[in-house]
A and B are shown apart, each in its own frame.
Chain A
Amino acid sequence: MLNPPERNDDANLPTAARDDGTGAEVPLSVYDLTVAYHRKPVIWDVGFDLPAGQLIGIVGPNGAGKSTLLKAVMDLIPRASGRVRVFGDTYRENRHRVGYVPQRESVDWQFPVSALDVVAMGLYDQIGWCRPVRKKHREQARDALGRVGIGDLADRQISQLSGGQQQRTFLARALVQDADLYLMDEPFAAVDAATERAIVEILRDLKERGKTAAVIHHDLQTVPEYFDHVVLLNMRVVAQGPVSQTFTQDNLQKTYGGRLTLLDEVTEAMRRRESSL
């Protein structure tokens, strides 16, 4: 059950990294990624390639480092080591092609903006510095709200939306970004059944248009139904691949079964040693 901290199997060796630059079409390639908070690793030696044009579930227990992984990919938090390639280049170079859907709880929903304002934020990059949001942008945002099924709520202040409607607003904002790779942090968390169906619908639509979406997901029951590919994460990549082969009882047991307590112990010892110096 307990795995040593060093890289342990082929699953962790991404092809793009091996073939040195031939993976230009790989939407996201992560190699040897380690992120630490206060010297304590949150994810350790993570590596994978995401297949283009598929829906990918990122699955793992609480504290497995799923959100941290997405944030580290987008340079939102510093990496201790490792390399990230987005469509064959650095994230910085290709950030226009990446759409991010943060966790719903990450923002203040009392903020004085309407749903339409929030969706229009997805266009700010395109609008550019110091230029105002124009009518055509608002029309685009209104369309996107229509696509997620809440076009009639465009002018509501966001605290007056239900949880599901707030999540849809976030998705509409990602849609107007018109990215090629979407990174979504728990879009299915605490939403009603209708919203869940709507999100699945949107994901499938994205796939149909050749987009790739990596989605942090909690509900194991629905993984085979919603996703083509799965990355099982618990501090490191336990397994990854097509759902049919990877999403097995055995792999789930490895992912959820035991915390890597020896790893915790050694890092704790390291921390104590170093802080006493």
Chain B
Amino acid sequence: MTGEPLVAWIGQMLPLGFSWSWGLDGWIVVIGSLAAVASSLLGNFLVLRKMSMLGDAITHAVLPGIAVAFLLTQTRSSPAMFVGAVIVGLLTAVFTEWIRGAGGVDEGASMGVVFTSLFALGLVILVQTADAVDLDPNCVLYGSIELTPLDTVSVGGRDVPRAAVVLAVVTVVNALFVLLFFKELRLTSFDPALATTMGFSSKWMHYGLMILVSVTAVACFESVGSILVVAMFIVPAAAAYMLTDRLGVMIAISVALAIVSAVLGHVLALSVPAWMGYRSTTTSGMIAVAAGGLFFAAATLGPRHGVLVKLVRRQLLSLRILCDDIVASLFRGEELEQPPPTATWLAGELFASNWSMKTALAMLRRRGEVADQDDRLQLTHVGRERGQRLVRSHRLWEQYLVDRAGSGAERIHDQAERFEHFTDRNLRDELAKETDTPVEDPHGRPIPDES
């Protein structure tokens, strides 16, 4: 490897707490990253086309292709294996379509039929031949990424793991495919009918994608196994989907997550069992676990669909509504010339919890909308304007609901109470226009002017 001093320095700096050999672990991380990147590049489109299950089906179904090619050629590196896998991969896609069309079965069921049959066939062939040849069914299913650095080929006079070379080629091919056909992939994934009318056949894009998924599955299966490769196709892309609403950004994020999950996966595989007093565990499994963890983080923290963000947003909204209610309630009190209320009394009136009342009041005081006079709450000038706007919205809505929507006067209060929080200046003007600029609401209370 190049830059031995640098590597040694990094090795010293990383407080990993376990032995790390760059010649071995370095390559494992590189191979894991390449496999994850090659897969997730295509995975974006599997996710967006809602074809994740077809990706799953193909990665399993290529097994008989690999097995037969292996039987015929007796080697693991032969291009025959890729050819065999591509043929079976395409057959999976075609059979799935065909069974769905001819049998009237839904896609999930027809996929289930095709890929389990093919996968089982592959297993039977493999087990039959496993004694005779050097291909271990366990390796095919779970991969043996730890052993890949040992099987090297010479590239430019240097020994490089064969898996790294194969995966690098596949990664470049997939990256070129996504770059060159970015526009076509976007169109056929979003609106296949329009794409077809424009001469970008969505059928051919579909099969092109399936060919590359098959090739990638074969390239990866040796390292991570035919089961875990599914995680590499789908999980980083699905996580990226939660984090952005732009396709280009989604692909970039999925690649970054793929690399992070590969590195993290190997580090975890080395460190986690050591903490518990075991020897290291399988890296490919840990890569999938790490990817799953990243997905969970994205699902929780994502800005668009994230659970946490939604929770915070909901909290903020209900806080804003409580602020509105406090201000409007103080405004109505002033209107009726009642003495200013205490915070406790108002909290009871508005069914607000102690905590949220405190937070809301703190917000209102900071914005200078409510001031304290002894233990009583009073509106400031700014606060009075906000209250006036809210009460105006409320009463205009009541007028509108009775006048234009034909609601009964007894039911309008609750609806107006909800609408007032979402009514801006424009909407108020529209409401006033629609109801012929009323001066009183249906209950006979005055509608204040725009402040």
| Chain A interfacial positions (CB closer than 8 Å to B) | 38, 71, 74-76, 95, 98, 100, 102, 106-108, 111-114, 117-118, 121, 124-125, 127, 129-133, 157, 159, 173
The answer to whether B183 touches A125, judged by C-beta atoms less than 8 angstroms apart, is no
- Determine if B191 and A129 form an interchain contact, defined as CB atoms under 8 angstroms apart: no
What residue of chain A has the Cβ atom nearest to residue B202's Cβ?
A76
Among the listed B194, B198, B200, B246, which residue makes an inter-chain contact with A114, where contact means beta carbons less than 8 Å apart?
B246
* In the complex, chain B residues 180-200 whose Cβ is within 8 Å of any chain A Cβ: 180-184, 186-187, 189-191, 193-200
A100 contacts B197, CB within 8 Å? yes
Inter-chain contact B189/A111, CB cutoff 8 Å: yes
> B434 within 8 Å of A by Cβ?
no
Q: List 26 A-B contacts (CB under 8 A).
A: A38-B104, A75-B196, A95-B197, A95-B198, A95-B199, A100-B197, A106-B193, A111-B190, A111-B247, A112-B48, A112-B241, A112-B249, A113-B186, A113-B190, A114-B245, A117-B247, A121-B186, A124-B184, A124-B198, A124-B200, A125-B200, A127-B183, A129-B200, A130-B183, A130-B184, A159-B245
B187–A124 touching, CB < 8 Å: yes
| Chain A, residue nearest B182 (CB) | A132
Are A108 and B193 closer than 8 Å at their CB atoms? no
User: How far, in whole Å, are A117 and B249 apart by their CA atoms in the complex?
Assistant: 14
User: Is B250 interfacial (CB 8 A cutoff)?
Assistant: yes
Q: B246 to A113, Cβ gap below 8 A?
A: yes
Given A95-B198, A95-B199, A130-B180: A108 touches B190 (CB 8 Å cut-off): yes
* Complex partner residue of A112 from B194, B196, B247, CB under 8 angstroms: B247
Considering the complex, give the chain B residue whose CB is closest to the CB of A114.
B246
Residues of the B chain whose Cβ atoms lie less than 8 Å from the Cβ of A75: 196
CB distance from B183 to the nearest CB of A (A): 6
B196 contacts A76, C-beta separation under 8 Å:
yes
B interface list, Cβ under 8 A from A: 48, 50, 104, 180-184, 186-187, 189-191, 193-200, 241, 244-247, 249-250
Q: Are A112 and B191 in contact (CB under 8 A)?
A: no
Distance, CA A124 to CA B182, complexed state (A): 11
> Contacts A111-B48, A111-B189, A113-B247; is A100 near B183 (CB within 8 Å)?
no
Question: Are the C-beta atoms of B181 and A130 separated by less than 8 Å?
Answer: yes
| Chain B proximity of A154: nearest CB distance (Å) | 13
Considering the chains assembled together, what is the distance between the CA atoms of A90 and B431 in angstroms? 54
Residues of B within 8 A of A159 (CB): 245
Q: Which residue of A lies closest to B101 (CB)?
A: A38
- What residues of chain B lie closer than 8 Å to A112, measured between beta carbons? 48, 241, 244-247, 249-250
A-B pairs under 8 A by CB, number? 75
Measured in the bound complex, the distance between the Cα atoms of B194 and A113 in whole Å is 16
Contact between chains at A132 and B250 (CB < 8 Å): no
Chain B residue with minimal CB distance to A73? B197
Q: How far is the CA of A98 from the CA of B245 in the complex (A)?
A: 30
Main secondary structure of the interface of B (DSSP, over half): helix
Partner of B190, one of A98, A107, A129: A107
Q: How far is the CB of A66 from chain B (nearest CB, A)?
A: 15
The interface residues of chain A lying within 8 Å CB-to-CB of B104 are: 38
Nearest chain B CB to A170's CB is how many angstroms away? 9
Q: Which residues of B contact A74 (CB under 8 A)?
A: 196-197
Q: Once the chains are docked, how many angstroms separate the CA of A131 from the CA of B181?
A: 8
B193 partner, pick from A100, A113, A132, beta carbons under 8 A: A100
List A contacts of B193 (CB < 8 A): 71, 76, 100, 102, 106
B residues less than 8 Å from A117 (CB atoms):
186, 247
Contact assessment for B197 and A124 in the assembled complex, using a CB-CB cutoff below 8 Å: no
* A106 and B191 in contact, given A112-B244, A130-B181 (Cβ under 8 angstroms): yes
- Which residues does chain A contribute within 8 Å of B199, judged by CB atoms? 95, 125
Residues of B within 8 A of A71 (CB): 193
- The chain B residue sitting closest to A159, CB to CB, is B245
Shortest C-beta distance, B304 to chain A (Å), equals 8
A107 (CB) vs chain B CBs: closest residue: B191
Residues from chain B with Cβ under 8 Å of A113 in the complex: 186, 190, 246-247
Q: How far is the CA of A261 from the CA of B355 in the complex (A)?
A: 67
Question: In the complex, A100 Cα to B199 Cα: how many Å?
Answer: 13
Shortest B294–chain A CB gap in Å is: 18
Bound: A212/B166 CA distance, A:
54
CA distance in complex: A266, B314 (Å): 58
- Among B195, B199, B244, B245, the most chain A Cβ lie within 10 Å of the Cβ of B245
Q: Are B190 and A118 in contact (CB under 8 A)?
A: yes
Contact B190 A125 (CB under 8 A): no
Starting from the known contacts A113-B186, A125-B199, A127-B183, 19 additional A-B residue pairs (CB-CB under 8 Å) come to A74-B197, A95-B198, A95-B199, A100-B193, A107-B191, A108-B190, A111-B189, A112-B245, A112-B250, A113-B247, A114-B245, A121-B194, A124-B195, A130-B180, A130-B181, A132-B182, A132-B183, A157-B246, A159-B245
- A127 / chain B contacts, CB cutoff of 8 Å: 183
CA distance A71 to B180 in the complex (A): 29
Q: Which of A108, A114, A124 neighbours the largest number of chain B CB atoms within 10 Å of its CB? A: A124
Q: What is the CA–CA distance of A63 and B189 in the complex, to the nearest angstrom?
A: 27
Question: Contact: B183 with A124, CB < 8 Å?
Answer: yes
Cα distance A74–B195 when bound, in Å?
A: 12
Q: Whole-angstrom distance between the alpha carbons of A122 and B277 in the complex?
A: 61
Residue among A38, A112, A129 having the largest count of chain B Cβ atoms under 10 Å: A112
